Amino acid sequence: MLGKTINLRARVHTIRAVSSALVFIVLRQQMDTVQGVLHVDHNSSSSSSSTTTPTPHMVHWASHLQEESIVHIKAIVQRPIHQNQINSTSIHNHELRIIQIHLISRVAVPVPFSVYDADLSAGADDDDDDNNKKIITPFIPDRARLSSRIIHLRSASAQSIFRIQSTISMVVFSTPTTPSTLPFIEIHTPKLQGGASESGASVFKLKYFGRLAFLAQSPQLFKQMAVAADFGTGGVFEVGPVFRAENSNTKRHLTEYTGLDLEMAIRKDYHEVMLVVDSVLKAIFKSVYEKRRREVDVVKTQFPAADLIWLPKTPVIAFADGVQMLIDDGWLDDSGHIPRKDEDLSTRAEIRLGELVKDKFHTDYYILDLFPKSARPFYTMPAGTETQSKLNAMHPDSKLTHSFDIFVRGQEITTGGQRIHDYEMLINSMAENDISARGLEEYLDGFRWGAPPHGGAGIGLERLLMLILGLSDIRYASMYPRDPKSLLEPPKGLEGLPHPEADTLGSQVLDHKRLESKTPTKPLPPLPSLIANYGDAANTSWLDDRYLVWRDLVTGGAIGFVPSSSGFAIIVGDPLCDKSQQPALVGRFLAWPSSSSPSSTITITTTTTSPSATTLIHPKPLPPLKPIWLLASSHLETILGSRLGWSSFTCIAESRVELEGEVPAALEEKEVGKKVRKAESEGVEVEAWMGRDGFQGGRAEGSDARISEWQDSRRKKGGQVRLTEVEVWRDYVHREYFTKDAEKSKMIPVALVVLHQLSPMYGFQVKYALDFPSTERFSAIEAALSSAMRAVASTGSGRITFGTSATSRLTPVRGVKGMKVKVLSHAYEAISDRMSLRGKGEFRKKMGAEEEDVYICYPRGGMGGRGAKAVLDFCVAES
């Protein structure tokens, strides 16, 4: 190969630019990586062909390629020139001298993490020191790897895992035979069932043309029916999906997994089934370590685990004897009780028993036989009289079954045994277990019409793979894992956009002219229109003077932030764009301004009393800023936490009221209702008008005078927590005003409530509820709020938010633990008590508001002492 010219298509794994004349590009094809060298040879003859001599422009262009781009190169194979051996690639002794490089497919948005980093060790410690300006570590949390699944699947460890999984499946297809060497037949059974095969609580129910149906918990019933139909001479097997509606968020459970199931006729006893399953599993172990040795070693770089140990003859231990081993060891359950021989083992008990078996038999693989009836489904065959009497002499009161579990590294990976084939015995067992025959008529036909003695087993492919390789989480063994938190609920309330011209989905056109100039060739959607289309309460604060607004030139979307003097960007609220675009928008924003991508710009939005905002390009470049994200929704917190590995906690909540009918239920609350009824009985009138309809003469002046008085009184009280300024006339086109004037002074309000139109999903925000000092005895603010809430209820929107308020305590969510929780909690308690932060929340609850948590999110190194002070300085207005 040395000296040979080759053509290669590969992904850009990572790039290291040494100088303007030399750049190293690591190229990747699946698991294989090779170093490419792009070098301007200044000593080459001027007559050299331009097709074989890279130019400075070519090197500069290639050094700015994004990781994960697909390129086609023409290169010459050579020995490494700059070092004897290349340790950072899978190909150590050769490199490619690139003479041509072409971009085939570019990365549209920055990836959440690089595959290069994902391939490095995942064992780095977390670090929240925000004084460290360069935190360089390959640490990528599990949640980030699993949320950005396609990127992680490109890593060498993930590629290896699924090659090993493929090998396991191939062994299953080729190995199963009965003791008489008759081959098994592959079958495919339906996953829509009319009845539950196991516990009804763990079944996914769905509507089926006006009838109730269930997703199959296993192919158990159908494979038994196949044996009853005389396909059991050799046996049947299936590899297919299994569904379990168990709300278990552990590292060893999935709601959908791949089942490796077999069923066969029994000639003498059920140990024939055990022998077949045992032989299949040993064949799997052998193939994994012999045929996939390289892949196993690659996986170990991420998940260090010793090779699995198994014996030529597998230890078979009676269940009761296994329990006795635990008792002899002094093991106790969580309640302090010894394990029982007539109950199933807990996960902790299984793991401890695995350790005891490893010590005694020197194996990671063994079988527990003769399980108690209480731990088995209704179709399991009870043990015969001889077996019962023999074991009951040693272990009294155990009702045993012809069933077994097989364990790998102390965890169960398959359950098998003999099934009941006698019709009357089966019906009685169903009755004992409260299993209805409804929906199981076809299954029962096989037994009414005569079924042979038979048995089988089911293996979870993902759990088997996890335990063989010692993976930390079963989700790594599933290409696209499903657990109780998968399949996010789509947002409600998307009835249509008030401003179709500001639709970020419709604007999502890559205008390359616009991108390269970094100036819009057509107007960006106005910020107020984006707020009305996509905004929540936090987004309305972006209209304040202190906010800068980052605009995405790809979609027209926006993100508002305030740069701090200490080098932080305090970002508030969710991005203004369609929710499906938020991950990409967040990625582009966080890549700015260090990214050379011309896909964004910074704007200043000016909104005085004009109907629309004016967007100006910010004149000065900003320095690099560390981001801290405030008031992130649960959707955004998932993006930042799961995809990017950010930490998060909550101590604030959005106060929302769901309004139904013309009289909001909140107004029936005893204290509020009393004040409202009193105001109504005294003839208190609240004047309402839409901002877009204009103002009565003197209205703005009178209100401004009262607001100025109110602000003066607030300043005298010292520092106040606020996210927005009191600018009631900004974006008045999207606002509605409710005022109660003083009885003797028209146009001089004693209460002013301002509603701001939000997205259809969120309805309206009570932007301001100002209760001005007054000598009048009625409660004007309650009357004004009542009028505003009735107005919203009458529109059919049904949603109103008061904005955010402090909650009773600080709650860690992701990545916040140990001493940091204590420090943040103590600081929050002190600030909350000093500034009476919970007062707003109590008043809003009286108005019927319910709290919806929002989050504070930050990357590694984002919330040390300087970061916390930047947040506090942002929120607290000094007197």
What are the residue ranges of helices labelled H in 682-818?
Answer: 699-716, 780-795
d(CA 98, CA 77): 9
**Strands, DSSP E only, in 132-183?**
none
Q: What is the pLDDT of residues 214-240, one digit of tens each?
A: 999 999 999 999 999 998 778 999 999
Residue intervals of the chain classified under CATH 3.40.630 are 660-714+722-797
pLDDT of residue 667 exceeding 70: no
DSSP H helices, 77-230, are: 115-119, 142-147, 149-153, 156-174, 220-226
Fold for the domain defined by 309-408: BirA Bifunctional Protein; domain 2 (3.30.930)
Highest mean pLDDT among 125-134, 162-171, 391-400, 749-758: 162-171
Q: Which two tokens stand for residue 359?
A: 């010590």
- DSSP 8-state symbol, 372: B
What's the whole-number mean pLDDT along residues 544-558? Answer: 90
Average pLDDT, the chain: 83
Q: Which residues of 704-729 are buried (b: 16+ CB within 10 A; e: fewer)?
A: eebbeebeeeeeeeeeebebbebbbb
**5-107 CATH:** 2.40.50.140
Cα 682 from Cα 676, distance rounded (Å) = 10
Domain 660-714+722-797 has CATH 3.40.630: yes
Q: Which residues pair with 71 in a beta bridge?
A: 10, 103
Q: What is the CA 58 to chain-centroid distance, rounded?
A: 40
* Residue 174 Cα distances to 189, 283, 287, 625, angstroms: 20, 10, 12, 58
Alpha carbons within 13 A on the beta-carbon side of 475: 21
Task: Reduce the secondary structure of 63-94 to three states and give it as a string.
Answer: HCCCCCCEEEEEEEEECCCCCCCCCCCCCCCC
Q: What are phi and psi of 786, to 5 degrees?
A: -60, -45
Could you tell me the pLDDT band of residue 475, with boundaries at 50, 70 and 90? very high
Query: How many Cα atoms within 13 Å fall on the side-chain side of residue 97?
Result: 19
pLDDT value of residue 494 = 46
Structure tokens at 858: 């930050």
pLDDT tens sequence across 728-776? 888 889 999 888 876 656 677 888 899 999 998 888 999 988 888 765 5
735: left (phi over 0), alpha (psi -120 to 50) or beta: beta
* Single pTM value for the model: 0.69
Cross-strand pairs, 809: none
CA–CA–CA angle 690, 720, 649 (5° rounding): 95
Scan for tokens 């003066």, then name that residue.
712
Instruction: Name the residue among 477, 486, 457, 606 with its Cα closest to residue 546.
Output: 606
- Which H or E element spans position 112? none
Q: 148: pLDDT confidence band, cut at 50, 70 and 90?
A: confident
Given CATH 3.40.190.10, say whether it is the number of domain 155-308+449-487: no
Q: Are strands 626-632 and 568-572 parallel, antiparallel or unpaired?
A: parallel
Q: Helices 461-469 and 271-291 sit at what angle, rounded to 10 degrees?
A: 50
Nearest alpha-carbon partner for 277 in 172, 375, 362, 380: 172
343-347, long-range: CB < 8 A, 24+ apart = 343/372, 343/374, 343/375, 344/371, 344/372, 344/374, 344/375, 347/252, 347/411
Contact indicator for 36, 88 with CB cutoff of 8 Å: no
First to last CA, the chain: 75
Q: 493 pLDDT band (50/70/90 cuts)?
A: very low
pLDDT at 386 exceeding the cut of 80: no
What was the pLDDT predicted at 608? 47
Residue 234 CA to residue 214 CA, distance in Å, equals: 30
- Give residue 81's pLDDT band: very low, low, confident or very high (50, 70, 90): confident
Alpha-carbon dihedral 166, 172, 175, 180, rounded to 10 degrees: 180
In a 10 Å sphere around its CB, with 0-12 CB exposed, 13-18 middle and 19+ buried, how is residue 21 labelled? Answer: middle
Residue type, 659: L
| Confidence band, pLDDT 50/70/90 cuts, at residue 366 | very high
Place of tokens 């040879």: 41
Banded model confidence at residue 527, pLDDT cuts 50, 70, 90? very high
Q: Of the candidates 502, 505, 654, which has an alpha carbon nearest to the alpha carbon of residue 574?
A: 654
Numbered ranges of CATH 2.40.50.140 in the chain: 5-107
797-842, pLDDT tens digit by residue?
A: 568 888 887 777 788 888 887 777 777 777 677 666 655 555 555 6
Percent pLDDT > 70 in the chain is: 78
**Residue 227 to residue 243: CA distance in whole angstroms:** 23
- Distance (Å, whole) CA 333 – CA 336: 5
Residue 317 near residue 367 (C-beta atoms within 8 A): yes
pLDDT for position 126: 44
pLDDT of residue 3 exceeding 80: yes
Residue ranges matching CATH 3.30.930.10 in the chain: 155-308+449-487, 309-408
Judge whether 293 and 501 are in contact, CB under 8 Å.
Answer: no
| Phi, psi of 559, rounded to the nearest 5 degrees | -140, 125
What's residue 796's pLDDT? 62
Name, in order, each residue with C-beta under 8 angstroms of 819's C-beta and a sequence gap of 6 or more: none
Q: Which two tokens stand for residue 332?
A: 């106790």
Give the other-Cβ count within 10 Å of 51's Cβ: 8
Encoded amino acid at 192, one letter: L
Residues 6+ apart with CB under 8 A from 841: 653, 655, 805, 806, 807, 851
Q: Using CA atoms, how far apart are residues 559 and 539, in angstroms rounded to an integer?
A: 9
By C-alpha distance, which of 281, 201, 308 is closest to 247?
201
In tens, the pLDDT along 255-304 reads 999 999 999 999 999 999 999 999 999 999 999 999 999 999 999 999 99
DSSP state of 621: P
pLDDT computed for residue 47 by the predictor:
45
What are the φ/ψ torsions at residue 112 (nearest 5 degrees)? Answer: -65, -30
* Both tokens assigned to 390: 């023999």
Coil/strand/helix, residue 546? coil
Residue 414: strand, helix, or coil: strand
Task: Region of 410 please: left (phi>0), alpha (psi -120 to 50) or beta.
Answer: left
**Has residue 385 got a pLDDT over 60?**
yes
In this prediction, residues 529-547 reach a mean pLDDT of 93
Mean pLDDT, residues 151-179: 89
Cα–Cα distance for residue pair 113/12, rounded to 1 Å = 14
Q: Which two tokens stand for residue 793?
A: 């209820």
The angle that helices 271-291 and 293-302 make with each other, rounded to 10 degrees, is 80
